[in-house]
Amino acid sequence: MTVQRGGFALTGIILVLAALDALSAPTGGPVSWHVTNGVSMLPGITKGTLVVVHRKDAYDVGDVVAYDSTELGKVVLHRVPRVEADRLVMTRDNNSWIDPETPAAADALGSRVFQLKGVGPAVDGLRRPVALAGGAVVLALALLQTSSATRRRRRGRSPGAGAAGDRSPAAEVPPPQPAPAARRPARLPSVPAGADTALRVGVGCCALLAIAATTGPFLDTTASASTAQQVVTWEYGAEAPPGLAYPGGAVATGDQLYPRLVTEADVTAELEVDVPDGTTVSGTWRLDVSAENDDGWSRTTFTGAPATVSTAPTRLTTTVPLRELLEMAGTLTRETGVEAGGLRLVVTAVLDLELVTDGVLVPQQATSVLAFDADAKRVGLEKGSQLVQTSSLPLPSAGATTTSLRLVGVTLPPGPTRMLALAGTALICSVSS
């Protein structure tokens, strides 16, 4: 009985997962569920959290929204700090970085309805064909074994069999008093033993359908690629004498730098590398300082010490000696007699990364640059400079993605079909026991 109830329980679980898959946003439905793999939404959403989202026509400021990132090639779950026209500006909870992508409200997968911390990997594992099929096969064998043992016990009983030995009339004994009728436990539905053949045919058909929805020539697949994403966020500042230029006595990011008042500035870069599931990242990065002009002259004045890279955000700070670099440019002019224009002061983040995905080492070298236009009187951000710079790092192909199942001219979603077939297997075995 316990095994039979377990069969019905497994059937219910599979049907719930199938319903979620059938209603999921990737197939056009309003609901989808996702398992987080990152730290960008700490402390509210930790790694391995199962988040269920519901698609809406419009989203509000503060909503946690899932969307398909074209740069990362995966689903991203971030918060909406503001809405611009029909575009959603997205940010993270554990820092103030703004996503480079602004998905349209109509393209979002949905906003968070509820979440379950720590259960994501287990539920995600149940969704995988191998784990789900393995569990269903083990339970099916147990149910069939229980069913066979139950029928053997029934056949072994002889209706109306009495005590062995002499059947002559025995001494008259007072008839026993009827005992209170015991309440028999309710029996779960069963089928006649003669229906074994039909049941086994049903199990076989469901199993074949599950296999067809898992692998084979009936599946349409498309090649998929994966990418990692590096995000470098820049800021700078300096101390300055209080006055009209700097009332607070400090330079903030975005301010002009006046060398007469500010001799040097501190430039800080924060690096975050976001990698897909199954990929690890290591390596080093550093900050270099240089000066260059339009004539092609350049000089690196400082090479920073390397720092370790991981999936957690890391910060580096370097000092840009404004007056020293301007004096160097003046010395060059006096030496050459050429008044070179377009002096630029450049801070470069140099990244040497090692990404390992599916056991394959993928070395990546990248740079991110913050440049200042400079002359003897002022230094300011180069026109068009971005304080948040995002770039994609290509990874080897992640293999094939199954898109649809085609059987006898009918197109079906493979995930729900597979789960329903396994649910049918478990249900038939449960009833037969």
- 414 secondary structure, DSSP code: H
**The total number of residues written for the chain in this structure:** 433
Distance CA(356)–CA(363), nearest Å, equals: 8
Sheet holding 64-69, edge to edge: 31-35, 50-54, 110-116, 64-69, 74-84, 87-91
What is the reported pTM?
0.49
Pick the range with the lowest mean pLDDT from 144-153, 296-305, 335-344. Answer: 144-153
Average of per-residue pLDDT values in the chain = 77
Distance CA(321)–CA(418), nearest Å, equals: 64
Structure tokens, 406: 């085609």
| Mean pLDDT value across residues 179-205 | 59
Interval 250-269: pLDDT, tens = 999 999 999 999 999 999 99
Using alpha carbons, select from 290, 268, 269 the residue that is nearest to residue 343.
290
Pick the range with the lowest mean pLDDT from 149-153, 229-233, 311-315, 388-392. Answer: 149-153
Query: According to the model, what pLDDT value does residue 165 have?
Result: 45
pLDDT, greater one: 43 or 154:
43
Q: Where are the domains of the chain?
A: 2-126, 224-400
**String of DSSP letters for 91-157:** E-SSS-PBPS---BGGG--EEEEEEETT-HHHHHHHHSHHHHHHHHHHHHHHHHHHHHHHHHHHHH-
Q: What is residue 257's three-state secondary structure?
A: strand
Residues sharing a CB contact under 8 Å with residue 351, sequence separation 6 or more, in sequence order: 230, 271, 283, 284, 285, 309, 364, 365, 366, 367, 368
pLDDT, greater one: 153 or 64:
64
Residue 154 reports pLDDT greater than 60 = no
Distance CA(33)–CA(115), nearest Å, equals: 9
Q: What percent of the chain has pLDDT over 70?
A: 62
Pick the range with the lowest mean pLDDT from 37-41, 316-320, 378-382, 383-387. Answer: 37-41
Using alpha carbons, select from 23, 77, 4 the residue that is nearest to residue 45.
77
Using alpha carbons, select from 231, 233, 232, 236 the residue that is nearest to residue 254.
236
Domain 2-126: top CATH class: mainly beta
Where does the pLDDT of residue 221 fall: very low under 50, low under 70, confident under 90, or very high at 90 and above?
A: low
Residue 93 reports pLDDT greater than 50 = yes
What's the angle, vertex CA 247, arms to CA 245 and CA 251, rounded to 5?
70
Residues sharing a CB contact under 8 Å with residue 164, sequence separation 6 or more, in sequence order: none
Residue 346 reports pLDDT greater than 80 = yes
